[in-house]
Amino acid sequence: MSDISALQKARYLYQPKLPEAVKGKVTEIALKLGAPTEAISDKDELKKMLKSTYGMPIATFEKGSNPKAGDKINVGVILSGGQAPGGHNVIAGVFDGLKNGNKDSKLYGFLGGPAGIIDGNMIEITKDLIDQYRNTGGFDIIGSGRTKLETVEQFDKSLKVCKDKNISAIIIIGGDDSNTNAALLADYYKSKGETIQVIGCPKTIDGDLKNEHIETSFGFDTATKVYSELIGNIQRDANSAKKYYHFIKLMGRSASHIGLECALQTQPNWAIISEEVEKEQKTMVTVVEEIVDIVVKRAANGDNFGVILVPEGLIEFIPEMKILIAELNDLLAHKADEFAKIATSEQSAWIAKNLSKVSSDAFKSLPASIQAQLCMDRDPHGNVQVSRIETEKLLIDMVAARLDVLKKEGKYKGKFAGLNHFFGYEGRCAAPSNFDADYCYSLGYIAFLLIASGLTGYMSSVKHCAKPATSWIAGGIPTSMMFNLEQRHGEKKPVIKKALVELSGAPYKFYVKHRNDWAIKTSYVFPGSIQYYGPTEVCDAPTKTLILEQAGK
């Protein structure tokens, strides 16, 4: 490898912490199974769909005996979807568990994501290779991809590859879609009488793959700490220059976990929570008026600056915009060929003409730049690519326009200058925090133990994550427990339900309790950069979200 920094060199040597129950020889760690489980909804239909894996019990580990963990086996691992800090440590955990069991066992990495297992494109992960990636960010050890494992043809191709390469188990590291597909693959193999096991690991910096057993998805801790450092830096700058309002868009299309966590860490003047917007049916005008009210009140105190956090997916939670986007997706899906023939300069007029009157009026009210962004190429699901819609700029323009009206009416005497930012890729491949380094290593190690215990269709699980790593509870959760049925491409399909911000949850309630004070009185917190070496309370601290959710447990 090329020259490396002193920090990276030191991180190679960091030994992640494991839950107490899974320390020592893997042959002396026993599986404990609980009662049968059920899906969160659509139970009868899912039971018929997942005949081979539905209803399996929750698994935990304790000291005991498991001679099978010493068998010589070959395992394949896949990185799927967007990058998240800690992915390399999941693979390191699998590798170390595998070699702990039998030094002749082998770990293979499928290259380029799920496509690798379909095409048989793979490499062996050796000690020399994995040692170059321990405790580092990124997915570059084997790469990732967004190919979906969802058709029988793909399942059969992957089965042939595994048989040809003598691979007895697959570990899929991914988000909700990837783990959905992992569970369906496991059920397919088992229904065919095949013994190849499939285990998932929960990954997504968005934080929306969680429940009482999967308490957090990996990468969320590191990404929110990276974003919070940047937000803190901007807040310091805002408080120094005292002349700008910074509108900061943060990743999180389907949920506002990142925005909420960053708000708890930095105490900005306002953080929009998409789930609240949807529940209270706030219009774009309502959202703008809330910000305008803060700007006016701060100006009365002589403060013409501030920081506003905006969730990436906000525009899809605003009622009129949600309807507009749904109509747009449908229109551009059914009339794609006709739309492609229209000159760029005439596309907006064509769209406005083909929408319902309500949606057409909403579309025409938007700036030309936002109209163009709504017309861009769709994502693989056929949906608008919300990360490319500059919602933060739209809010700045609308707030400025409203303040101009208030100034003319003599109701506002301050100055407003807005600056926009989008923090996304900055956090996806950061060097994992100690929490994520430990958590991911544990997830990988436990994934091997689930395989060694003969299980399939499970997701690696760690509980009590707000406590020190040695107190974590290691186990596995049947992925089918997280399923509900959703309409996809005209038919009902099993899907892991995304976990949105709970408006009855402790993190949101804590934010609501304090946000009006933070809005008017400058109360910024400056978290600084992630610390890897030093006091435990600084270096190993979990997210504010986990601390609040598990307070008193």
pLDDT tens profile 239-281: 999 999 999 999 988 899 999 999 999 999 999 999 999 999 9
Token pair of 157 as six digits: 């191709």
Section 30-38 average pLDDT = 95
Under CATH, what is the fold of the domain 65-219+432-496? Rossmann fold (3.40.50)
Quickly list DSSP for 80-117: -SS--TTHHHHHHHHHHHHHHH-TT-EEEEETTTTHHH
Q: Could you tell me where in the chain the CATH 3.40.50.450 domains are found?
A: 65-219+432-496
Partner residues linked to 204 by β-bridges: none
Section 6-29 average pLDDT = 96
Section 153-179 average pLDDT = 96
pLDDT over threshold 80, residue 490: no
Task: State whether residue 370 is helix, strand or coil.
Answer: helix
Q: Can you tell me the distance from the alpha carbon of 300 to that of 285, in angstroms, rounded to the nearest whole number?
A: 22
Q: Can you tell me the distance from the alpha carbon of 476 to that of 495, in angstroms, rounded to the nearest whole number?
A: 19
Amino acid at 119: D
- What pLDDT was estimated at residue 365? 82
What are the C-alpha distances in Å from 250 to residues 45, 99, 104, 522?
Answer: 37, 40, 45, 21
CB 309 within 8 A of CB 263: yes
Section 225-241 average pLDDT = 98
- What pLDDT was estimated at residue 86? 98
| Residue of higher predicted confidence among 378 and 130 | 130
Of 230, 300, 292, 239, residue with least CA distance to 265:
230
pLDDT over threshold 50, residue 342: yes
- What pLDDT was estimated at residue 377? 66
- What pLDDT was estimated at residue 124? 98
pTM: 0.93
- What pLDDT was estimated at residue 97? 98
pLDDT over threshold 90, residue 374: no
Of 49, 56, 77, residue with least CA distance to 188:
49
CB 27 within 8 A of CB 64: no
pLDDT over threshold 60, residue 179: yes
- What pLDDT was estimated at residue 378? 64
Partner residues linked to 327 by β-bridges: none
CATH code matching the domain that covers 222-428+505-549, chosen among 3.30.560.10, 3.40.50.460, 3.90.78.10, 3.40.1350.10: 3.40.50.460
Task: State whether residue 1 is helix, strand or coil.
Answer: coil
Quickly list DSSP for 117-182: HHHT-EEE--HHHHTTTTT--SSTTT--------SHHHHHHHHHHHHHTT--EEEEEE-HHHHHHH
Section 132-146 average pLDDT = 96
- What pLDDT was estimated at residue 98? 98
pLDDT digits (tens, 9 = 90+) for 404-424: 999 999 999 999 999 999 999
Amino acid at 188: Y
- Split at pLDDT 50, 70, 90, the class of 447 is very high
- What pLDDT was estimated at residue 180? 94
Token pair of 69 as six digits: 């963990």
Q: Can you tell me the distance from the alpha carbon of 186 to that of 502, in angstroms, rounded to the nearest whole number?
A: 31
pLDDT over threshold 90, residue 513: yes
CB-based contacts of 301: which residues, under 8 Å, 6+ apart?
A: 520
Task: State whether residue 62 is helix, strand or coil.
Answer: strand
Q: Could you tell me where in the chain the CATH 3.40.50.460 domains are found?
A: 222-428+505-549
- Split at pLDDT 50, 70, 90, the class of 1 is very low
CB-based contacts of 271: which residues, under 8 Å, 6+ apart?
A: 259, 260, 262, 263, 308, 309, 511, 515
Token pair of 243 as six digits: 């002349």
Task: State whether residue 183 is helix, strand or coil.
Answer: helix
| Residue of higher predicted confidence among 170 and 370 | 170
Quickly list DSSP for 194-263: ---EEEEEEB-TT--S--SSS---BTHHHHHHHHHHHHHHHHHHHHHH---EEEEEES-SS--HHHHHHH
CB 174 within 8 A of CB 148: no
pLDDT over threshold 70, residue 381: no
Q: What count of other Cβ atoms lies within 10 Å of the Cβ of residue 482?
A: 27
- What pLDDT was estimated at residue 380? 61
Among 36-40, 448-452, 485-489, name the one with the lowest average pLDDT: 485-489
- What pLDDT was estimated at residue 316? 86
| Residue of higher predicted confidence among 319 and 30 | 30
3-state secondary structure 499-525: CCCCCCCHHHHHHHHHHHHHHHCCCCC
- Split at pLDDT 50, 70, 90, the class of 232 is very high
Section 466-479 average pLDDT = 96
Q: Can you tell me the distance from the alpha carbon of 311 to that of 199, in angstroms, rounded to the nearest whole number?
A: 31
Amino acid at 475: G
Burial of 379 (0-12, 13-18, 19+ CB in 10 A): middle
| H/E segment holding residue 242 | none
Kindly report the average pLDDT of the chain as a whole number. Answer: 94
3-state secondary structure 295-349: HHHHHHCCCCCEEEEEECCHHHCCHHHHHHHHHHHHHHHHCHHHHHCCCHHHHHH
- What pLDDT was estimated at residue 339? 85
From 206, 208, 221, 303, active-site residue = 206
Q: What count of other Cβ atoms lies within 10 Å of the Cβ of residue 456?
A: 26
Active site residue 206: yes
Q: Can you tell me the distance from the alpha carbon of 187 to that of 189, in angstroms, rounded to the nearest whole number?
A: 6
pLDDT over threshold 90, residue 299: yes
Q: Can you tell me the distance from the alpha carbon of 296 to that of 301, in angstroms, rounded to the nearest whole number?
A: 9
CB 307 within 8 A of CB 236: no
- What pLDDT was estimated at residue 488? 73
